Structure 1
Amino acid sequence: MTKNNTQVSLRTGKLDDAKAVFEIQSEVFSENKYMVTVSDEFEESTEQLRNWIQSIVENEKETIIVAEIQGNVIGFVVFRSKNSKRLAHTGHFFIMIKKKYRDMGIGKLLITELLNWAEQNSSIEKISLGVLSTNHRAIALYKSMGFIEEGRKIKEIKFSEDSYADDILMSKFV
């Protein structure tokens, strides 16, 4: 349930979600606000996203969790693991939600579900993410869920000639 009592269903993503994931990514990238990738750099096709989702579904150390309202995918979180033996206990995630459905608590629901999944996965010990220093709402959410700042890449993201954001590196042990 969201903050405004809207019923949200969470489930593991599947190949059939590729079109919805594509549409959400296109919308989020077009906002040109909190992502490193901008819309004109987003060149993946629905078929490429299907292959990407397939690779996640087939890897027991990775997951994609989608949020649905009335059968429509409105957001997702993706966790990717590391391939190196010494990093195999770690991974990173990113989350995207359609603008219309933000500030309803869906991000928290998705991350909670991700953390529950990670706690059940004996090979995952640490979950990490990167967030732009300008994304104050996301930073507050991550901190409220126990993520800590591990580092910061100063002026890593350049918006314009004199406008930058830091890339904040956050993590949580599960």
Structure 2
Amino acid sequence: MSHQIKIRVAVQEDAEKLLEIQRAVIAEELYLMTALEEFQQTVTGQQAWIQSKLINERETILVAQFHNEIVGWLMFQSPNRQRLSHTGTFGMMVHKDYRNHGIGKRLLEELLEWAMKNPYIKKVGLGVFSTNERAIALYKKMGFVEEGRKIHEIKINDNEYIDDVLMYKMV
């Protein structure tokens, strides 16, 4: 399947599908900080958000398509601070039905290629739940290393906390 995946830059017309994937991943309650009841983004808001990334040369949004259907996406953002302008972090979501087919790897490869060509970006970072072992394994395979942890950063319920693992790769 991986060779049938097309990776491209997002456009505003993708907003509805990106929101659909985001809501589905949030509803799984396994991988994202946001709880479903907190997520209030609208299609119009998502379109504006996409446009803001497209006009910033230090940021990007990539989508993965399988048979012309968007099945995953990755967003890279860079802080608006001069001393941090060489850095950025990404978040990635792949629809549950399309995981374990190399889509995340393809999105990440495309991001790293973009970052290496970008004259501003030198460090790509991310935060990942310590329980997301498949994602951590992928990031390590792609050359990311752990640079720290926020211990018990994420509260699952009154008695359960997990760490936020911080990882990075220089490009």
Is TM more than 0.5 here? Answer: yes
Asked if residue 22 in structure 1 is aligned to residue 23 in structure 2, the reply is no
CA deviation map 1:28-62 (0-9, x unaligned): 00001111111111110011000000000011110
Shift, 1:82, TM fit: 1.1
Asked if residue 36 in structure 1 is aligned to residue 19 in structure 2, the reply is no
Q: CA RMSD in A?
A: 0.8
Identity %: 49
Q: How many residues align?
A: 171
Instruction: Tell me what 1:155 maps to.
Output: 152
Asked if residue 74 in structure 1 is aligned to residue 71 in structure 2, the reply is yes
Matches within 5 A, 1:1-174: 1-2=1-2, 7-174=4-171
Shift, 1:110, TM fit: 0.2
TM-score, L = length of structure 1:
0.97
TM-score, L = length of structure 2:
0.98
Shift, 1:161, TM fit: 1.4
Distance, in Å, in 1 between the alignment partners of 2:162 and 2:135 is: 14
Distance, in Å, in 2 between the alignment partners of 1:36 and 1:84 is: 24
Question: Partner letter of residue 100 of structure 2?
Answer: D
Question: Partner letter of residue 112 of structure 1?
Answer: E
Gaps of 5+ in 1: none
Shift, 1:162, TM fit: 1.3
Distance, in Å, in 1 between the alignment partners of 2:43 and 2:28 is: 20
Shift, 1:164, TM fit: 0.9
Gaps of 5+ in 2: none
Distance, in Å, in 2 between the alignment partners of 1:64 and 1:20 is: 13
Over 4 Å off, 4+ runs: none
